A and B are shown apart, each in its own frame.
Chain A
Amino acid sequence: MTAQQDIKSRIGPIGLALPLVAFIVITFLMPLANMFKESFYDAEVADALPRTLRLLNAWNGDEIPSEEVFRTIAEEIIVLQENRTIGKIGIRVNRVVSGTRSVWGRTARRVEGVETEDMRTTMVGIDDRWSDLALWQGIKKAGQRYSAKHYLQAVDLSRGDDGSIHRVDTEQRIYNTLYLRTFRVAITVTLLCLLIGYPIAYAIAHAPPTLSKILLFCVLVPFWTSLLARATSWLVLLQSQGVVNDLLVWLGMVPDDGRLSLIRNMTGTLIAMTQNLLPFVVLPTYAVLSSIPPTYMRAAASLGANPVQAFVRVYWPQSLPGIASGCLLVFILSIGFYITPAIVGGPKGQLISNMIAYHINDANNWGLAAAISVIVLLSVMILYIVFDRWVGVDKLKLS
């Protein structure tokens, strides 16, 4: 009875969770859904021939459209000719009905200034393909506002003039190269993080309490330090007149005129990303390692195992959950990494995320940016489901 009086029961757990759920739906899920819509949005023809398309919506498709439709499209063609966008529309419709590209230019040149009561006859006179039902159906189809165009472009495919799908020319294939590069970088960074992070986690787990606390703090500070601040530091450290090169020259390991180029290339991206993501391997691995009872190793030793055997057969298998958790996290995060490659990567060290930002900030191609984002998001979601099945999302820890 009294249990029902605490505030939880009064409002109920649903009432408590609901505000944040609603907030996340509005501020996060709806934007993602909108981005998904945007990735299919392609209204070049729809925006060019809005009135014609509205009329064609009511058209039954069995006979040549009415005089009103001809009159409307003639007016819209004249406007397109003035804007010099008629050619683009011709290309788009031609992808649906091939062999109709020249219709548009020819009509546009001749229809301007024509005064007539019968536009239908005039236009068919200019080009008899205007009496072809297939052309009108093609216009209607090309006028749909949604298409997979951006997705084709995002995987280096394009539609030919006849509507067939083929790969773009070799020198224009940029995106598949970038997915592949991102994937390779993610794997490399994950392995480097494991290689460097495992001994660190081991050291923290087995150090005396005070030292262990200090070491853990040394992992947490870079973990929480701004990515920008860390990227700036790497820029300063790794540039050719920077601290690392100065040190190498001073040590005589590198001649002064042969300073290493460690930054604004793939090396820079790999070094900085490994440092950025290292704590994500160290923290979960440490959490698991510190829970392995030391008696196990002693038991292995007393049963005659040498330290290497004891490690390989007893210790390592038990640390696998932490390693799996850390490595998957690093891999997932690497795929979406943007800031660090943008600053230290140079042209050769850019990843797929940098392309998304490019299409938003510089190229103003929102549809393509959205399509690439959806591809990245889906890849991450698949990995995340694997992560959840394998490790459990609720194992995420912050400090």
Chain B
Amino acid sequence: MWNIGKGVLTLFVVLGFIFLLAPLLVVVPLSFNAEPYFTFTEGMLRFESEAYSLRWYRNIFESEEWLRAIQNSFFIGIFATFLATVLGTLAAIGLNDPRLPFRKFVSALIISPIVTPIIVVAVGVYFFYTDIGLGQTYLGIILAHAMIGAPYVVITVSATLANFDYTLLRAAASLGANPWTAFRRVQLPIISRGVITGALFAFINSFDEVVIVVFMAGPKQRTIPREMWSGIREELSPTILAVATLLILLVVLVLITVEVLKSFGEKNKLSAN
């Protein structure tokens, strides 16, 4: 009786994972479809090599719009990430200090951009930035993306700071390091895992963000998600599937990096002990 229950549970879990992963698992092979269809052709199911092709990937890299979108996404993403990472790391160190007044309030304020519905953020940002002359500019989008990216940096850096041993800074000072050197040579390397993880999350977030971009971007600032957005709503082309596959690949790479950083940190902790 109990075994049947266990079997049912396992089946349920497997189905749950299929549901969770189905969109990813289907879009990847379909992006290699030689035909402009959105389903598996018989040739694909028989694994005939001529049923597969890279034509949709070639489409991306031969299209001026997509190339500009890729360029824009990286440009906006890198600057937004830089801003978010610097501001977020400093703020996390400040927040971790019990002497900071109104700590709970400040941390709620800093986290608030990511718990506010993105459509509401986008509406507010669109009106305000247009009023102050930042509508349809790179700077406007970069500032908005830095604002929604910074909370991720604060969260991940705070998590690494929770284990940070402050006597190390005192040790550095007693060995003659000035505060800046102590921060740069002692504290930063130890919390760097959190900083890099936060930066990666902020980057993905900017890279995937579409609502703010739909409202704010002019023809010049169109990013990858913005091109996908109009592509999906106008005429769905398999090129979009190729782009989606590349985005999934990016996430997998980022998450593997984060995992590697994590295990690296655990090893560090072990050897320190």
B97 CB, min distance to chain A CBs, angstroms: 4
A55 interface residue per 8 A CB criterion: no
* Stretch in B48-56, B64-72, B120-128, B265-273 with 4+ CB within 8 Å of A: B120-128
B14 CB, min distance to chain A CBs, angstroms: 9
A306-334: which have CB < 8 Å to B?
A: 307, 332-333
B160-209: which have CB < 8 Å to A?
A: 166, 169-170, 172-174, 178-180, 182-183, 187, 197, 201, 204, 207-208
- Classify the interface of chain B: helix, strand, loop or mixed: helix
B152 interface residue per 8 A CB criterion: yes
| Complex alpha-carbon distance, A313 and B94, angstroms | 43
| Complex alpha-carbon distance, A305 and B178, angstroms | 62
Partner of B94, one of A17, A215, A217: A17
Q: Is the CB of B210 within 8 A of A228?
A: yes
Q: Is the CB of B39 within 8 A of A35?
A: no
B14-66: which have CB < 8 Å to A?
A: 16-17, 19-24, 26-27, 30, 37-40
A310 CB, min distance to chain B CBs, angstroms: 12
Give the residues in chain A near B155, CB-CB below 8 Å: 396-398
Give the residues in chain A near B129, CB-CB below 8 Å: 31
Q: Is the CB of B123 within 8 A of A369?
A: yes
Besides A203-B13, A356-B120, 9 other A-B contacts (C-beta < 8 A): A23-B146, A24-B147, A30-B128, A32-B124, A228-B228, A232-B228, A232-B241, A343-B233, A377-B116
Chain B contacts to A: CB under 8 angstroms: 2, 5, 9-10, 12-13, 16-17, 19-24, 26-27, 30, 37-40, 83, 87-88, 90-91, 93-95, 97, 99-101, 106-113, 115-121, 123-129, 131, 143-144, 146-147, 150, 152, 154-156, 159, 166, 169-170, 172-174, 178-180, 182-183, 187, 197, 201, 204, 207-208, 210-211, 214-215, 225, 228-229, 232-233, 236, 240-241, 243-244, 247-248, 251-252, 254-255, 258-259, 262
Closest 5 CB pairs of A and B: A336-B117, A16-B94, A233-B23, A17-B94, A31-B124
Chain A contacts to B: CB under 8 angstroms: 2-3, 5-10, 12-21, 23-24, 27-32, 34-35, 38, 196-197, 199-200, 202-203, 215, 217-222, 224-237, 239, 241-243, 246, 274-275, 278-279, 307, 332-333, 335-339, 342-343, 353, 356-357, 360-361, 366, 369-370, 373, 376-377, 380, 384, 388, 393-394, 396-399
